[in-house]
A and B are shown apart, each in its own frame.
Chain A
Amino acid sequence: MNNILSFDQVCVEASSAKAADFPILDSISLNLQQGESLGIVGGSGSGKSTLLRVAMGILARGLSLASGTVVTAGVDLLNVGPEMRQKMYGNKIALVPQSIGEALSPHRTIEGHFKDTLGSAASIEKIVDALVDSGLEGSKFLHRFPHQVSGGERQRILLALALVRSPELLLLDEPTSALDRDVAAEVLATISRLQEKRRFALICVSHDFEVVRRTCSQLAVMNHGRIVERGPTDHVLTKPTDSYTKALLDSIPKPNHRIRESHSMGPNSVISANKISVIRGTKNRVLDSLDFEVRQGEVVGVIGQSGSGKSTLLSVICGLVSPSSGSICTGDGFDLSIPLAKRPLNITGAIQLVFQNPDDSLNPKRTVQQSLSRYSGATVSQLIQVLESVELTSTFLSRYPSEMSGGEKQRVAIARALLTQPKILLLDEVTSALDVNIQAAVFQMLAKVQQSTKMAMVIVSHDLELVASFADRLVVLRDGQAIEHDSAQIR
């Protein structure tokens, strides 16, 4: 048996006392041989990223190996010097970290990146070959700078850079999290083609079963630092045995399964926009003569890729952005194209927006009670009532944002929007930063709120299944224009 990577009863603990009450990695054992591929799925904090770093011989500050051994390509990387690790990296083992922000050096050309990685072994043919292998027209990219390539191209370049010295083991951390759906699918296809051709061992970590299904033959599910289930990918996906795996799989939005029942909508419109355009810079039309209407009690889903203008549409409705041309007004005929500061209080209160990032939507220096009552002036009993409607208890009133999870923060943000009793609630990717199981719970809560208040909602997302299972009607945006209106067609 020739293991490229083997974990034997590995436990990793946080050294500080106040850290999580479970180990970061809890007796992890796994073996990987040439040509094998393992996908690891888990929520945030499940330890999956730590596992990849431990395989590279890296322990983040504050973490320590409590027991067990890790052998990567015959070397115990945790117990060798940095020179040895540097020799192994790229040569025997390579990790492509999750690309948050700039993953390529902004001051180096693509060719420069390859030269730096290859050192004296660099040659133009080799670089072009590596790029072509990753599905790029190699010679075109050599002299480009990182800001001149698209997200998908960047991911392929990172892949080519990791593989250019033919490592035996490739580790990928959320390889497609920054990409739009279609581009992601192409990149995943390239990964699995390369893996079949070059026969390296692959570990691919993601929060998304779909990513793993497309790239890996084996699947492990992680929760609280443990591998709770492991087996062939298809088997685990179709016949899960562990309860956590089942819960995760259940919460994935599926076609023809509705989180919320469709309702008949009222006759009057809440918002109607006529040929609105938003122009950024000199020519860039973020919204291009878009017609958009929301009726009373209706839930409209807006989907589109990043840059399609969907967030801008919400900003225009709530007044954070003024349209460059076109008209937008409320059902009562109030003109909404005027800036936010000039709108009367009852109009601003009637239109509320919940943002995508839960970490950013609450003032870190204020308790929940202060955040909720600051502008609404609500009494404590009203606050408790609204917290209950988002399925939180009154104990949250005294908490600071740093003391809550992402899902809890997002519920507080929704509660705050509900306090002004809006006629229309705008939700901008409200669950995309959350784990799938929490995502589903938040949407179930929103369905209940919508049922009891009958308020109109506009829900923006890049996730078609999720929106389709919730909305009454879908609008697809592309390049600032609505291209389809009928939900049935999309299904």
Chain B
Amino acid sequence: MKFFTKDRTPRGKILAYCVLVLHGAIALFVPILHLTPTDEQDATTMLQGISVDHWLGTDGLGRDVFSRVLHGGRPSLVIALVATAIAAMIGVLLGSFAALAGGWIDEALSRLIDFLLAVPTLILLLLIASFFGQDPVILSLTLGLMYAPPIARVSRASTQILLARDFVRVARLQGGNGLTILVSEILPNIWQVVFNEIAMQFTWIILAFSSLSFLGLGVTPPTPEWGLMIAEARSYMTINPVSVIAPICMLASLVLAVQALVDHE
């Protein structure tokens, strides 16, 4: 993995990798563990503390928090991965194409990117989720479109820097066309910077989606999702703080691990 780190891997980054792998493993394998079903309500065991039956206690409907917390990353992860892939594809292609084309095409695309950056993200998300239903396909498409502009901007800027470099000019002099130059001279050299930006946007997408769920417009209850779980558990936080703290820890550890791997400079 040379995407993230420059030379050696410091301990913090190793830890971050482990956390990410753990999150991935949980999300992949939790269905085959046959935990308590996430929607199994039990009016007799509401708001219990930590016990052998319920490792992290139960929530206000008597559902098992441990099971819900382990399942709670799946919707965000799937939607965020799809949305990030869409955003990355649009962003990299749009950005590097703008820089390569230059002239008025570049000017027009840059203005477009600026406009898209000015679009208030959360309003749009709320509108789409509210009026078109909480459809994961529509949501991930919207998220992908909305988070593409920053990636496009970074791709454009770094492509432009590269275009001024002599080896790219030589490639043009040697008869390379736009596509071959993009693939063999530019992408290998901007990939690290662009990947950083993509990883950054991945965390923002996860956060946007869980904020949406927190506001009740992400996943449909009873599907377990961390943002939704925090929103639900807030009302009885004083009775069973674990039901809030557990999803917070899961969400925080996931986004912080990705952030720790991003070179912030």
Contact = CB atoms under 8 A, between A and B. Distances in A.
Given A363-B189, A364-B189, A365-B188, A375 B167 contact: no
B264 interface: no
Given A360-B166, A361-B166, A365-B189, A374 B173 contact: no
Interface string B171-210: 1111111001000110011000000000000000000000
Query: Dominant SS at the A interface?
Result: mixed
A353 interface: yes
A319 B169 CA distance: 10
Q: Which of A320, A349, A355, A413 has the most CB of B within 10 A?
A: A355
A320 B174 contact: no
Contacts of A351: 173
Interface of A: 318-320, 340-341, 345, 348-349, 351-353, 355-357, 360-366, 371, 374-376, 413, 416-417, 420
B174 A375 contact: yes
A360 to B, nearest CB: 4
Nearest to A354: B170
Interface of B: 165-167, 169-177, 180, 184-185, 188-189
A352 B174 CA distance: 8
Given A348-B175, A363-B184, A374-B184, 6 more contacts: A353-B170, A375-B171, A375-B176, A417-B170, A420-B174, A420-B175
Contacts, number: 61
Contacts of B166: 355-357, 360-361
B188 A352 contact: no
A361 B167 contact: yes
6 contacts: A353-B170, A353-B173, A355-B166, A366-B188, A375-B171, A417-B170
Contacts of A375: 171, 174-176, 180
A365 B2 CA distance: 13
Contacts of B176: 374-375
Contacts of A357: 166
A187 to B, nearest CB: 29
Contact of A362 (B167, B174, B177, B188): B167
Contacts of B180: 374-375
Nearest to A318: B173
B108 to A, nearest CB: 19
Nearest to B185: A363
A361 B174 CA distance: 13
A27 to B, nearest CB: 32
Contacts of A340: 172-173
